[in-house]
Structure 1
Amino acid sequence: MVNNEEMRKIQFTGKSSYIVSLPKQWIIEMGLKQGDQVAVVRQGISALQIVPLKHHNKPAGAEDATIEIKQDDEGSVIIRKLISLYLLGFSIMNVKPKLGRLKPSQRNAVKDAVKGMLMGTEIIADSTEGITIQVLINLFELSVDGALKRMLIIAKSMQNDALLALVEANYDLAREVINSDDEVDRFSFYIIRQLKIAIQNEHLLKEMGIESPHHCLGYRLIVKNIERVGDHATAIAKDLLEFKKPIRKSILEPIQEMNSFSLSVLDEACLSLFKRDFSQAERTVEKT
């Protein structure tokens, strides 16, 4: 038991009520007295949070937020604002015009963001007066490790396809690689959102399989590095489309060797993470 834990017995009273006594010292510190109300908030699957009503805020991930759009706001501005709200953990996001109505281009930007960038979101109301977006996926539907594995698969596939496009001078495949970059970003945003929500609550953190808050920083760095794999693949594909010339075989062979080596090291590094295998992590580092 940790230092700030106290054990309490569950008692049964009446016909259907279970009660648990609260620590006296906590009651004094909170300035509570008999008859005061407290909010009981479910945190994940196995934990309850008790908050005095005067200190009660909505639980993480349950708030809603509104952004006001000006008539001259470009789609990119709106998308950045939406991504910010999504990463902050808001579950309902409202987009409303500051004056007048939303322009078709602005509404399309919101729809593109929902479809291509914000995982687990749906538009639940849509008109010229405003758009409401709701996050429907819950914290436990797709774990951080699960999302990380899927993100890794996509990023590796992009890198292999980028090299294949380079070898074959396949411009259609190069364009497909570029289009896949948004999918990597979707998983990146999703994982960062989950980490931001979970880091605020120790019980949620543990139920998500993360042992301590400082591990969230490690996950954030891992996500960033996997995201860079996708970015490099995209850069290769864009360069191919720009040059529009076949690459000499003498140049291709060492590039292919480096690609195979780097992806094998990435595989081993991620496997050591998922297995929590320190020895394998050390062996992977030594290979580089």
Structure 2
Amino acid sequence: MEQGKKFEVRRIQVTGRGSFIVSLPKRWVIERSLNRGDKVVFSDGGEGSLRISPLESAVKSGPSETTFTINPLTDPESIIRRIVALYLIGFTVIRMKTPQNRFEAVHSDYVKEFVRRKLVGTEVVFESPNEITLQVLISYPELSIDSALRRMVTVTVAMLRDAVSALATGETTLAGEVLKMEDEVDRFGFYIVRQLKMASQDLSVMKQLGLNSGRDIIGYRLVTKSVERAADHAVKIAENVQAMRVKTSSRLIQKICELGGEATKFFEDSVKALYRRNYEEADNVLKRMGMFDSLENRVLNDMNRYKIDPVQMSSLRLIVESLRRVEEYGSDIAEVVLNLTAVG
């Protein structure tokens, strides 16, 4: 194979017994230190391609176990970031050790609480004073990407509706419930990203997860990000409701809630188009963007007509901005649907 070439053409040969054979490029064989009699593995590379790997590397492919050390002065958030990175990469067993006789209580407690709240199917399977072992126990068929995404969306839509209801009624307790629901969205978001990364490296995993191609992997990654961001803005709406301490015109609040209802429906309809893989539905959702813009402008104009406490005004404007972002994330999802279904 000449330097700089991305591919090489080889002729298919036929043996006397009717078997088809193709010779391997000499350079490829030498680079992998292969010899006569060594075994190679053939696997479906997807979209009509065939993947060839040395048997040893094929057996060893994919991460399984890893260990890292936690020093006494390590920031707990730094530990969490590393655990998340290793979880997303696809490690099944994650061991943490300390050079001390025992972990700092703040470290061990923080890790165990985070795993409980944020990582689907992950448990502490071993714990001693100076070692903690996490293991991902859930397997691909048990929770498909589609099921995990549907759960994410269900919780996110509930968060948006409750946040808007809290604004309408002034119930700060309901707003507080929205904040508690964010963990559920994060849990399934991490799980989906983990599965997508593993699917991108192994066609068999991709098939087990119900995905058909690399386009699906990219599309679901973008959709997952949009759902996570919509949930983040539901939290911001709830936080701004909690920050409001002065009664505002009920007419203005009603109009903002109408805007919230439209943003939530826009987002929900975009996801429904994804579930159905329906190009026309996604296209129709995007056509409604102008209606949302008009409603938002009317709300902003009404806000300027009222004498509102500056702190209250800031909270209301941030709520309207969050509703705008939810609508934008819905449009992002609809555009993903168009990209996935434009060609039958």
TM-score for both structures, normalised by structure 2 = 0.70
Match among 57, 60, 64 for residue 58 of structure 1:
60
SS of 2:119 mapped into structure 1: coil
Q: Which residue of 2 aligns with 1:277?
A: 278
Q: Which residue of 1 aligns with 2:96?
A: 95
Q: How does 1:25-44 map to 2 (within 5 A)?
A: 25-26=23-24, 30=29, 31-34=34-37, 36=38
SS of 1:211 mapped into structure 2: coil
Q: Which residue of 2 aligns with 1:131?
A: 132
How far off its partner does 1:51 sit?
Answer: 4.4
How far off its partner does 1:70 sit?
Answer: 1.1
Q: Which runs of 5+ in 1 are unaligned?
A: 7-20, 44-48
* C-alpha contact 1:144 1:194 (8 A) present in aligned 2: yes
Q: Which residue of 2 aligns with 1:114?
A: 115
SS of 2:36 mapped into structure 1: coil
Report the CA distance shift for 1:71/1:264 in structure 2 as closer, same or farther (over 3 A): same
Separation in 1, partners of 2:93, 2:80: 15
Q: Give a deviation string over 1:228-281, Cα, whole Å, max 9, x none.
A: 221111111112222334443122112111111122222221111111111111
Which structure is larger by alpha-carbon Rg, 1 or 2? 2
Separation in 2, partners of 1:164, 1:247: 15
Aligned letter for 2:23?
Answer: Q
How far off its partner does 1:184 sit?
Answer: 0.7
Q: CA RMSD in A?
A: 2.8
Separation in 2, partners of 1:191, 1:250: 41
Aligned letter for 1:63?
Answer: S
Aligned letter for 2:85?
Answer: S
Q: Which residue of 2 aligns with 1:249?
A: 250
* C-alpha contact 2:199 2:205 (8 A) present in aligned 1: yes
Q: Which residue of 1 aligns with 2:309?
A: none
Q: Which runs of 5+ in 2 are unaligned?
A: 1-8, 13-18, 46-50, 290-344
Separation in 1, partners of 2:182, 2:174: 13
Report the CA distance shift for 1:190/1:23 in structure 2 as closer, same or farther (over 3 A): farther
Q: What count of residue pairs does the alignment treat as equivalent?
A: 265
Separation in 1, partners of 2:24, 2:121: 39
Aligned letter for 1:52?
Answer: P
How far off its partner does 1:32 sit?
Answer: 4.0
Q: Give a deviation string over 1:103-157, Cα, whole Å, max 9, x none.
A: 1111011111110011110110012211000001112211111111110000010
TM-score for both structures, normalised by structure 1 = 0.82
Report the CA distance shift for 1:267/1:193 in structure 2 as closer, same or farther (over 3 A): same
Q: How does 1:6-45 map to 2 (within 5 A)?
A: 23=21, 25-26=23-24, 30=29, 31-34=34-37, 36=38
Aligned letter for 1:263?
Answer: T
Whose helix fraction is larger, Structure 1's or Structure 2's?
2
SS of 1:93 mapped into structure 2: strand
Report the CA distance shift for 1:101/1:23 in structure 2 as closer, same or farther (over 3 A): farther
How far off its partner does 1:25 sit?
Answer: 2.5
Q: Which residue of 2 aligns with 1:161?
A: 162
Are 2:142 and 1:141 equivalent residues in the alignment?
Answer: yes
Separation in 2, partners of 1:40, 1:104: 49
